[in-house]
Amino acid sequence: MFGAELLMNIFGIVVAILVLSILIAVHEAGHLLMAKWSGIRVDVFSIGMGKAVWGFQYGETYYQIGRLPFGGFCGFGDEENGDKDDPDPRALMNSPLWARLLTVIGGSLFNVVFAYLVMVMMFGIGFKEYQLSNQVAVPQTITSPVDQSIVESPAYKAGLRNGDAIIAINEEKVEHFLEIPLALSISTSTTENITYVRNNTTNTISVDTIPDKSTGLDLIGVSPISPAIISEVLVNSPAEQIGLKAQDQILAINGNPIQFFYQLVDVVSLGKTVSLLVLQDKVTNNISITPTQTDGAWTIGIRSEFPTKVEVLRKSSNIFTTFGMAADNISSTLSQIGSSLVKLFSGKVNVKENLSGPVRIVSITGDIAKTFDIALLVKFMVMLSLALATFNMLPFPGLDGGVLILQIARSIFKNNTKVEKVITGIEQLGIILLLTMAVFVLFNDVKTLFFNKAPVVEQTKD
């Protein structure tokens, strides 16, 4: 058992490093090819950082693989730091501004193009994915992320009820549950127009959201709908006392067949003794159980954490729609990433809890790899590629966006030694700040993975 688990963990780490290496290679290849196309000399092309473990010379460029599997770079000699000593007209600082700018944006440009081409291929071939149903469970009360108090669910207050299917938020189509928080993350309003279907009737309501600073999301108080299968039986609860166990399925309550867990919650919440038809170990039993009150709510002490999933086929109908579907996917993902960054830098998100680095990314990618869901892994790689492109273009010294601005400044104040000293100082400060942030992110990742307990997601209780 231990050997199999260890092998799976190693497999996940290897796949994760491979995914990150591909994205870094694409990014650095963008810098390399744009530089060469613009006539700029490139001395070194490296995938990975640190001392080279393998490499070869081809033309004027030395291609290598660094000892550390994270990061990469294109080396332009001392000229990339502003030195003018190299008389070569093809040196970076001797090249025209347009060539330098094209070289700088080449990395992020290639990451976006790579992501787009991958999604074109995915939609062209077609892939199946399992999504959570857009039918929702709507508890009457939730725990407020602001002060941990018990408050009325915004969705329930606005009129949503268990079993409703959310089909649009602010006129943006919703097909599965995960599109609900995504739509909320893009919105800049605190009031959302939600369209839902109940009993074949479509309605639209306005819901006032609750901001959750720990995640940067706005909550409306809904959760994925779950089948009536027990995932956990609470200690000393009525359910434990009569012998209910995890994996038991509730087939009927008071003689009425049920399919979803919320149907059980609705009846138990009345506080009366109920009769359950339970499938346990392939045997059906009729049992009676009396709820008890906990924190003002009637409960029998069971939870369900198995959200209902639906199989979705993602495939374009023809070659023309393939490009459109891929473009829509890339545009939507970039909007989500941009919105997340805005919330991060505006203070609407807890930076300490949400800023992750390579260690955390490797962990998440490895977990996805261990599911052997190729489509999910590829989609996550596409998201990482777009995130890498977006982050690198931030106007921060040391990132491509900062380099872009400083190259323009160098061109404007050409041969001005005082300005050059200021620019060099900004570059050095940027590197120090980036290294400081890298240490912080590494510490945060390690703390999250090894010292913090995984956050307990509150599930619907009966």
Distance in angstroms (rounded) separating the CA atoms of residues 161 and 282: 32
What's this model's pTM, rounded to 2 decimal places?
A: 0.72
Interacting residues of 278 by C-beta distance below 8 A, sequence separation 6+: 244, 248, 249, 250, 251, 284, 285, 286, 287
Write the CB contacts of 2 (distance below 8 Å, at least 6 apart in sequence): none
Q: Give the CATH fold of the 232-303 domain.
A: Pdz3 Domain (2.30.42)
Q: What's the rounded Cα separation, in Å, for the pair 140 and 159?
A: 10
The pLDDT assigned to 325 comes to 92
pLDDT at 459: 39
> Which pLDDT value is given to residue 450?
59
Task: Give the per-residue pLDDT at 460.
Answer: 45
Any idea what the Cα angle at residue 94 is, between residues 92 and 99, rounded to 5°?
A: 60
> Torsions phi, psi of 185, nearest 5?
-70, -30
Predicted pLDDT at 320: 87
Q: What pLDDT was estimated at residue 410?
A: 83
How many angstroms separate the CA atoms of 145 and 408, rounded?
44
Q: At what angle do helices 2-38 and 358-369 cross, to 10 degrees?
A: 120
Arithmetic mean of pLDDT over the chain: 83
Is domain 136-224 given the CATH code 2.30.42.10 in the classification? yes
**What distance lies between CA 441 and its chain's CA centroid?**
17
Of the candidates 161, 180, 163, the residue with the CA atom closest to the CA atom of residue 260? 163
DSSP 354-404: H---HHHHHHHHHHHHTTT-HHHHHHHHHHHHHHHHHHHTSS-TTSHHHHH
CA-to-CA distance for 441 and 443, rounded, in angstroms? 5
Cβ contact 115:379 at 8 Å: no
Q: What does the alpha-carbon distance between residue 178 and residue 183 come to, in Å, rounded to a whole number?
A: 9
Instruction: Report the SS3 class of residue 337.
Output: helix
Domains of the chain, by residue range, sit at 2-125+366-451, 136-224, 232-303
CB atoms within 10 A of CB 294: 12
pLDDT of residue 455: 36
Query: Residue ranges of the chain with pLDDT lower than 70?
Result: 1-6, 8-9, 78-86, 213-216, 347-363, 440-462
What single-letter DSSP state applies at residue 318?
S
pLDDT at position 457 is 32
Question: Measured in whole angstroms, how far is the alpha carbon of residue 424 from the centre of its chain?
Answer: 35
Query: Which pLDDT does position 166 carry in this prediction?
Result: 93
Place of tokens 């380099």: 403
Q: Pick from 126, 73, 151: which is nearest to 314 by CA?
A: 126
Total residue count of the chain as it appears in this document: 462
If you ran DSSP here, which 8-state letter would residue 451 be given? I
* DSSP class of 176: B
Q: Of all residues in the chain, what percent are helix, strand and coil, respectively (each to 5)? A: 45, 25, 30
Packing angle of the helix pair 97-125, 319-345 (nearest 10 deg):
120
